[in-house]
Amino acid sequence: MVLASDIQVAQNVGFAIIALTMIIAGVGVIAARNVVHAALSLVVVMAGAAANYVLLSAEFVAVTQVLVYIGAVMVLFLFGVMLTRAQVGKDAEVNNKNAVVAAPVALLLFGVLAYVLLKGFSDDKIAATTGNGAKPQDTAAISDLIFKPYLLPFWALSFVLLAAVIGAIVLARKD
């Protein structure tokens, strides 16, 4: 039974606005002819994702998303665009001939995914997190998880990052 308090009008309106913005910006990422425009559309998608995380009461991940993705990764992308600019700017054809095949593949994939999701999770609800202090220990809980059960993956991830940093320097340096 659906109670009036379960519908959460404010959250749903917010989600609709965020989702619409993300979809439009996502189309911008895959349709833009200019690399910088595509990168800036991706910023909007990432900001929308961060807003969705707040809606899902995952504040810490939302802040990390803003810091790491919008702050660091996008700067890296814009540097990459800048350093490889010579050919990119006036290249008339940014897409290859695969579009004829890729569009049906993507549409079919979305159809299958949407069918399975609608069938499998038809009326699963996300618990209401309204009211003050719904999950007050959330960030503390995340740190407890990272440094207790997920400590070994965390170490492995540290080594992955170290290897990526060294690998990027080795690849990109001039000698």
Partner 1 sequence: MLLNQFLILGALLFCMGVYGVLTRKNAVMVLLSIELILNSVNINLLAFDAMTGNSDGNVFALFIIAVAAAEVGVGLAMVLLIFRNRKNISLDDLSEMKG
Q: Which of residues 122-141 bind partner 1 (CB under 8 A)?
A: 122-127, 129, 138, 141
Token pair listed for 172: 């990109």
> What 3-state class would DSSP assign to 153?
helix
Q: How far apart are the first and last CA of the chain?
A: 69
3 state DSSP class of 160 = helix
93 vs 132, beta carbon nearer partner 1: 93
In the complex with partner 1, the residue whose CB is nearer, 132 or 174, is 174
Q: In angstroms, what is the minimal distance from the CB of 111 to partner 1?
A: 9
Binding-site residue total for partner 1 (CB under 8 A)?
88
Tokens of 170: 């080795």
118 versus 133: smaller Cβ distance to partner 1: 118
- Which one-letter amino acid corresponds to residue 170? V
Between residues 120 and 132, which has the closer beta carbon with respect to partner 1? 120
Write the CA distances from 101 to 13, 92, 139, integer angstroms: 36, 21, 44
Which positions from 19 through 38 interact with partner 1, judged by CB under 8 A? 19, 22-23, 26-27, 29-30, 35, 38
**Contacts of partner 1 in 86-105 (CB under 8 A):** 86-88, 91, 93-96, 98-99, 101-103, 105
Taking the least distance from each CB to partner 1, the nearer of 20 and 132 is 20
AA identity, residue 150: Y
- Residue 94: DSSP 8-state: -
Kindly state whether residue 42 participates in binding partner 1, applying the rule CB under 8 A: yes
For residues 61 to 80, the per-residue mask of contacts with partner 1, x marking binding by CB under 8 A and - elsewhere, is x--xx--xx--xx--xx-xx
CB of 73 to partner 1, least distance (A): 5
Taking CA atoms, 160 is separated from 67, 95, 140, 164, 168, in Å, by 19, 32, 25, 6, 12
